[in-house]
Amino acid sequence: MSTNTQNLTLVQAVRDGLHTEMRNDEDVIVLGEDVGRNGGVFRATEGLYDEFGEDRVIDTPLAESGIVGTSIGMAAYGLKPVPEIQFSGFMYPAFDQIVSHAARLRTRSRGRFTCPLVVRAPYGGGIRAPEHHSESKEAFYAHEPGLKVVIPSTPYDTKGLLTAAIRDPDPVIFLEPKKIYRAFREEVPTGEHTVPFGEATVRRAGSDVSVFTWGAMVPPTLEAAESLEDEVDVEVVDLRSLSPMDTDAIVESFKKTGRAAVVHEAPYTAGLGAEVTSVIQEEALLYQEAPVERITGFDVPFPLYALEDYYLPEAARIEDGIREVVGF
């Protein structure tokens, strides 16, 4: 791993991770709608076409099922495709390919084939986009055996987790929080850099309540924790990897605090906040001092424009949820 760093935004870290792996391994292929000459709708693949050419940076038709289906075939025969879906809400036409084929290829072939495939997609709200552009449906994919699901929240983790995803022999759904694509910069190692799956990280240590979150919800959760520091000592745990999920980190933090909240922008019902709550109930019930609070999006289609800020959990609503847990 390189000891040199560069100051990158999250979307720049995506591009740097792709570039590094494409330079190191000629089997890595990028494909998707407008990823070539245009550099992607968010410019995550900018410059790759000029460096690696049209055989490794492939502009495809607007057909998500075809993009992912073609990628599965590539992966089965030794390549490492990284298809980009322009927005996660456009992944549904490819859902059959992902869950019926990519996730099952290893078991269906009794290990003869693996599927080293990374499906990248910007996810989540906050950028005033139209319908199908702002959804947060990570629970769909975490529910499916055979898939790994990863959501970074910092540039450092983005490059490290993307590198680990590309090198993984099985399919990975890599969701990128577009709300914070360019929100801040961070020092990111140049050259090879990996962050392992299945390991959460504590973004802020605390002793009174544990708040579990990921992706674009990490910054407002940290903001809420800082705002409450004179009232409550809040521990913020960024899960990063949703499948596999670091249940040991959840239990360890909860045993220390005895109280918990989960923050995600996906709808409330059957969101992964329920899975975190179940882990706590099953593994640390005797440490529990209050019900687990879920601070989430609402059980409605993602709203447009005027109601977007109301739908997304922001610092004030997260503060209220934390106070409710602590005041129980």
Task: List active site positions.
Answer: 133
CA distance 61 to 63: 6
Secondary structure class of 280 (helix, strand, coil)? helix
Compute the chain's Rg from CA coordinates: 19
Helices (H) and strands (E) in the chain, counts: 12, 14
φ and ψ at residue 291, rounded to 5 degrees: -60, 150
| Number of neighbours of residue 124 by Cβ within 10 angstroms | 30
Q: Torsion angle, CA of 268/270/271/276, rounded to 10 degrees?
A: 110
Contact 199, 150 (CB under 8 A): no
DSSP state letter for 245:
B
What phi, psi does 314 have (nearest 5°)? -120, 175
